[in-house]
Amino acid sequence: MAVPADPPDNTPDGRGGGDEEFRPDEYRSVVFDDDFVRAARLQEYSAQERMGEHARAVRSRSIWSGSGPSRPRTGTPSRAARQGMMLVLLIAVAFAAAVYMGLRNPATPLPDSHTDPLSSTVVPLAPTAPVPGGRPADLFAKSPAADYRVGAAGITLPAARRTHHFTEGQVVTALSIAKDYLVQSSLDPDVLAGAATRPVRVLLDPDLLAQFDRSMTSPSGDGRHAATGWLVRFDQNTAVVADSRVRVSGALTYQEVSPDVLEVVTDHTFVYAVRPATGAPAPADGASLFTVRRELRLRFDREDLTARRAELAAAYVMAGPQDCSADPADSFRPLLAGAGPTTVGPAASDPYAAGHPRRTAGLCGVLAPEEGATPPVSPAP
């Protein structure tokens, strides 16, 4: 009996038709006998056997790689985290490059913070006539200082305008510091008496302090260390101020000398009423006038303006009446009321004249006669 599992004796599903109906045309030449078919068996290989020596189909993922499955493994940074890391790295590199270029760029050199020492000239003015004496108010009224203002009111500031590299506010600051310096160094009673120097010292650039201190403790006429180049003070063994209402007149000017430095020039005349320095009170009519003409050149960089201090670069001072033989480097020694003329210098110098003071060629000048000067009055014994 024929069954479907025993081909080729019968066709599948019990259909007849022979070899022509069962085999396709392309397999007609292939004929398997019954023994071959019965001996054949099917074998299914395992997954490991099918892989053989081939490489692993799954690659390990790197945090910098964008390949791999869309679902990240546990503990592996996501795509957004990787992009964030890259952004932070790029910002750090750009910042470092900017800092490096800013420090190394030759087009923007660091400003020179060097401060030159003070150069000063102090010239005594000798009288050509006896020194007038009297009451301070009468002496002022009959002198060229009659219309001068009293004290700091005589130091007026000019209209301030911005320069190419400094603002109007910075110019105003420089002018106000210059005025403060004049007030402290020319009008402070303790400074005039030689009892204090700190009011002047605190207004100076730190680079000048060593020179200033040496000028106060060991003054000399070497053009660098004259105490009277920095400030006004009187020899307390010779004369003291008889009237605190010092008469003042002058002007301030300013200019930009470099992109980092602003310069202020002060030119003022100070007129003091002085009297002999004696133990007993001097008579009211025993005063005399002493005149100091100061031309100062002060410089300010931006750090000075912020700290409210000055770099005193140059000072030209004329003061009299004094004896030409006196050394004015330490303090001024006025010739008092009734003192006669002394050895005179090479040229007349009027400390009351407007404009820049006439500079003398020698170490002593001539005090031009005061208009309306009264005859000398000798102090009472």
pLDDT of 7: 55
Better-predicted residue by pLDDT, 205 or 282: 205
What's the rounded Cα separation, in Å, for the pair 230 and 210? 13
User: Is the pLDDT reported for residue 358 higher than 90?
Assistant: no
- Our CA dihedral for 7, 8, 9, 13, rounded to 10 degrees, sits at 60
Q: What is the mean pLDDT of residues 124-144?
A: 93
User: Is the pLDDT reported for residue 146 higher than 50?
Assistant: yes
DSSP state string for 157-181: PPPP---SSS-HHHHHHHHHHHHHH
pLDDT of 367: 82
Give residue-wise pLDDT tens across range 43-89. Answer: 666 666 666 655 555 555 555 555 555 555 555 567 777 788 888 88
pLDDT of 14: 52
- Return the number of other C-beta atoms located less than 10 Å from residue 134's C-beta: 22
What's the rounded Cα separation, in Å, for the pair 212 and 311? 11
pLDDT of 6: 53
pLDDT band at 375 (very low <50, low <70, confident <90, very high): very low
What's the rounded Cα separation, in Å, for the pair 240 and 228? 16
Considering only 152-156, 208-212, 228-232, 344-348, which range has the smallest mean pLDDT? 344-348
CA 261 from centre of chain = 10
How much is the mean pLDDT over the chain? 81
Q: What is the mean pLDDT of residues 185-190?
A: 98
Q: How many residues does the chain have?
A: 381
Query: Which residues, in sequence order, are CB contacts of 114 under 8 Å at separation 6+?
Result: 207
Produce one character per residue of 175-192: b if its CB has 16 or more CB atoms within 10 Å, e if not. Answer: bebbbbbbbbbbbbeebb
Tokens of 362: 């020698």
Q: What is the mean pLDDT of residues 249-270?
A: 97
pLDDT of 361: 43
